[in-house]
Amino acid sequence: MINLKKLSILTLLVILVTATKAQEGFQTKRLKHYATLGYNIGAAAPLGLPNTIRKIKSYSPLFTPSLGYEATYDLSYKWFVGAGLRLDFKGMKVTDSVQYFRTQITVGDGGSDDGVFEGDFTGTNATEANNAYLTMPIYGGYRAGAWNLKLGMYFAVLLSSKFEGNVSDGYIRKGGSLGEKVLIDHATFDFGDKMRSYDIGLHAAVERELTERWQVSLTGQMGFVPLFPSSFKGVGYDLHNIFVTAGVSYRIW
């Protein structure tokens, strides 16, 4: 006949040993390191469509990859924290119809009739932006089975900037909506050197574990800080980096 007391003690010992081994395994795997690769799709855009933009004629993304490294630390089996370092390219091409769009333009090709105008433009606006950032996301995460949810902030430093384009088939009111009317067949602008040198914003992601090593993810980043400082009057509204990254990551160790 089985001694219940001895069986109980033996069962308790097995549970304790198993829990200890599991905890040891958990401790050794708390810190994880990942290489990440992704593609950024989005725009430098206002938060809400201003009434100066009448119609979006076309939009196209550029080649805007994201390369990086991330590390996570498990606080428990469900909760973790993480941080990373990414090289992010963020850009787009967009053409729209505008009315009384505040801007600064250069008219001419080097002749005596050349001029730089600041005022309210009505017509067609085409913009191309392509900016490179060194981005550091910091987040907390929750693990639900094979799914990981992440929420936090990102901090970015501008490495290179391009924000240029042209306006056409319209006119500009010099100085403001009541200023002198100047017909514009074609004029250009280049605001790349006017951009703010940093960006700060929201970082949120959903991630699916495919294997022990591989994950796929969608990451959204929305900048809180306008691309241009308030002292710059070449764009009549605040633009923010609003991008989604479709990515894959590989656990290095």
What H or E segment, with its residue span, contains residue 23? helix 4-28
pTM for the model stands at 0.83
CA-to-CA distance for 67 and 83, rounded, in angstroms?
A: 14
pLDDT of residue 115: 72
Q: Comparing 6 with 66, which gets the higher pLDDT?
A: 66
- Mean of per-residue pLDDT scores for the chain: 87
Task: Find residue 209's DSSP bridge partners.
Answer: 215
pLDDT of residue 114: 61
Q: Are the C-beta atoms of 87 and 245 separated by less than 8 Å?
A: no
pLDDT of residue 48: 86
How does residue 105 score in pLDDT terms, banded at 50, 70 and 90? confident
What H or E segment, with its residue span, contains residue 109? none
Phi, psi for residue 179 in degrees, rounded to 5: -80, 180
Give the mean pLDDT of 106-133: 81
pLDDT at 111 over 60: no
Q: In this predicted model, what pLDDT tens digit does every residue of 166-185 receive, in sequence order?
A: 999 999 988 777 788 889 89
Structure token pair of residue 24: 């040891």
pLDDT of residue 71: 97
Give the mean pLDDT of 157-173: 94
- Position of tokens 């490294």? 69
CA-to-CA distance for 77 and 83, rounded, in angstroms?
A: 18
Give the mean pLDDT of 90-101: 94
CA-to-CA distance for 147 and 215, rounded, in angstroms?
A: 9
How does residue 116 score in pLDDT terms, banded at 50, 70 and 90? confident
Task: Find residue 197's DSSP bridge partners.
Answer: none
Give the mean pLDDT of 108-113: 52
Q: In this prediction, what percent of the chain has a pLDDT beyond 90?
A: 68
pLDDT of residue 109: 59
How does residue 108 score in pLDDT terms, banded at 50, 70 and 90? low
Structure token pair of residue 69: 């490294």
Cβ neighbourhood burial of 71 (10 Å; 0-12, 13-18, 19+): middle
Amino acid, single-letter form, for residue 31: L
How does residue 15 score in pLDDT terms, banded at 50, 70 and 90? very low
Q: Are the C-beta atoms of 177 and 120 separated by less than 8 Å?
A: yes
pLDDT of residue 117: 79
- Lowest average pLDDT, out of 93-97, 130-134, 179-183, goes to 179-183
